[in-house]
Structure 1
Amino acid sequence: MYLIVYYCTKLLEMMYYDLISEVIGLIKIYEKETDHKSQDGHLFAQWMNEHYKKNDHQIISEPEWEGKSNGRSADSVINTSLVHLYRYAKLNAKAAIANTSFSTPDEFIYLISLVSLGSMTKTALIKLNVHEKSAGMQIVNRLINNGLVEQASLDSDKRNRMIHITSKGTQVLNDSMQNIKKASSDVTEPLSHLEKLELIRLMTKLESFHESKTRMIS
């Protein structure tokens, strides 16, 4: 137990409060599930390893990355990778919409939003896709001009309008969907199904955090 207390003290010094809480929770489970009377840190570590394996978790060793030895942080690597992946996804999406009615990938993403979530106001559609108002309005206007969506004024707010996908928009989206799905799968191709689910969980956590942070600012 001295070993556990020692590590907890070190964690506290580094202010890893969430990790301390997790370790304490594991100790409580350990006490209930085992017959070990001795407070042996080595036995606890062995049990913890088996516990994670049993619950489909893996103890992941810290990966190497370029610049790590020179002090480059994990945050820097993640941010750079997200930017690169966005560019790779955009290249795939552009290839998918070649020879279609879409000028940019954002246009079919707006249509997919309307199909998935139903009609919504211009403001809601633009915010959903995390665009500045001016950029979002340009996308909506292109869709309107091409007859892919239509708009209707709200009785409660004449300045804002509801956007609906048209039958032409639905048809164009359906005709392009196979290429769009192929472009999406190409981006995540090396990942297994379980890895994709874990990535979704992590990305959703990040996106939810930044979404709520943006709402607080605005």
Structure 2
Amino acid sequence: MQTRPLRARTLQLNGAGLRPWHPRSFSLCRRPPCRAVVSLTSSAMDYSLLKQLLDQVEAYEQHQQGSHSTSNKLARFAAWLHAQAVLTPAAHEPHPDEMHRSHETVEVQISKLVVFMNRYARVYSRLALAGTPLLTIDDFAYLASLYRAQPLSKTELITRNVHEKASGTEVIKRLLANGLIAEQAHATDRRRKQLSVTPEGHAVLRQVVGRMTQASQLVAGDLNAEERQQLLYLLQRLDRFHLPIFLAPRPESFAELLQQWEPLRAAAAPEQ
């Protein structure tokens, strides 16, 4: 039986930034457009998946440029790609709450569920902190963030925890009153005060950090590792959008807030 010789086929990959594959060395070049020379044993081969992947790579690069991000790590691309997937939910019986959600937009549901998640986390954390001088998750967050970056001024500590000044000041007062943090003059500017964690505060942190880690695991719920990475990616994107708004001078009204920031949101949002 006579064997058929292998036939070479050329695949054009426009704008992909790939280098042509040599049949032996697979040497690559970086100047698109380029050609990948592939030896085939069959008369036809489906490259539709590869084409889709290249389109997604191009879209990801455009997204990175638009968001001024410089990260090109494969893990971040994988998380971004997963976030773009349009999943068609399987047919199921309506959940009791779906009757109430039917008139809500996606954005309303996102806002509501973010608030709910904050409440769940506060309940779990309050139980984890029971029997300690730390009353709320904010007390723990301030103490932990100060320990990692001490010394800090009051303003710096409040800003790190994305808190209103009045609310943050109350948290700091509680920590000072319980002797978990201390206030001292700045090393070079005696007019400024700085905060640091006391030995008592460090001991409390060691006491509760294990339970707070378990509370964080509970907050992540039954999401698998891939879903947790996807959620983290989306939350980090939202944080990058909202933090500059929070740190900017406060507008006088909601109308002024929308006038200042809504055009930026609309420009960054993907086409519907």
Structure 1 length normalisation: TM-score?
A: 0.71
Using the TM superposition, give the Cα deviation of residue 205 of structure 1 relative to its aligned residue in structure 2, in angstroms: 1.3
Closer, same or farther in 2 for the Cα pair 1:170/1:69, shift >3 Å? closer
Superposed CA deviations along residues 71-91 of structure 1, whole A, max 9, x for unmatched, are: 532111111110010000000
Aligned pair in 2 of structure 1 residues 46, 165: CA closer, same or farther (>3 Å)?
same
Q: Structure 1 counterpart of 2:137, which letter?
A: P
Between the aligned partners of 1:63 and 1:124, the Cα distance in structure 2 is 44
**For residue 175 of structure 1, what is the amino acid of its counterpart?**
Q
Provide the C-alpha distance between the structure 2 equivalents of 1:151 and 1:75, rounded to a whole number of angstroms.
43
Matched, 1:108 2:134: no
Q: Residue 84 of structure 1 aligns with which residue?
A: 116
Question: 1:81 aligns to what SS in structure 2?
Answer: helix
* Residue in structure 2 matched with residue 5 of structure 1 by the alignment: none
Q: Indicate the percent of aligned positions where both proteins have the same amino acid.
A: 26
Quote the residue 2:241 is aligned against: 209
Output the CA distance in 1 between the equivalents of 2:151 and 2:195. Answer: 6
Three-state SS of the structure 1 residue aligned to 2:196 is: strand
Within the candidate set 148, 164, 167, 1:135 is matched to 167
After TM superposition, list the pairs within 5 Å mapping 1:5-154 onto structure 2: 28-29=15-16, 46-49=49-52, 56=78, 57-58=81-82, 59-61=85-87, 66=98, 70-154=102-186
- Which of 166, 172, 195 is matched with 2:227 structurally? 195
Partner secondary structure for residue 61 of structure 1: coil
Unpaired runs of 5+ residues, structure 2, are 1-12, 18-32, 38-45, 57-73, 91-96, 251-272
1:62–1:156 Cα change, 3 Å? farther
Would the aligned equivalents of 2:122 and 2:136 in 1 still touch at CA under 8 Å?
no
User: Paired residue for 1:186?
Assistant: 218
* Equivalent in the alignment of 2:205: 173
Unpaired runs of 5+ residues, structure 1, are 1-25, 36-42
CA distance in 1, matches of 2:233, 2:147: 23
Higher RCO, 1 or 2 (CA under 8 Å, sep at least 6)?
A: 1
How big is the alpha-carbon RMSD for the aligned residues of Structure 1 and Structure 2?
3.3
Residue 34 of structure 1: how far off its partner (Å): 7.4
CA distance in 2, matches of 1:171, 1:200: 30
Do 2:150 and 2:195's aligned partners in 1 also have CA atoms closer than 8 Å? no
Normalized against structure 2, the TM-score is what?
Answer: 0.58
* Equivalent-residue separation in structure 1 for 2:99 and 2:49 (angstroms): 33
Shift of 1:212: 1.1
Identify which of 180, 184, 196 aligns with 1:164. 196
- 1:52-96 Cα offsets, whole Å, 9 max, x none, are 6x9744433255993699453211111111001000000000010
Task: Specify the code of the residue in structure 2 equivalent to 1:212.
Answer: P
Which structure has the highest helix share of the two? Answer: 1
How far the C-alpha of 1:139 sits from its partner, in A, is 0.9
- Tell me the distance in 2 between the aligned counterparts of 1:205 and 1:68: 28
SS in 2 for 1:120: coil
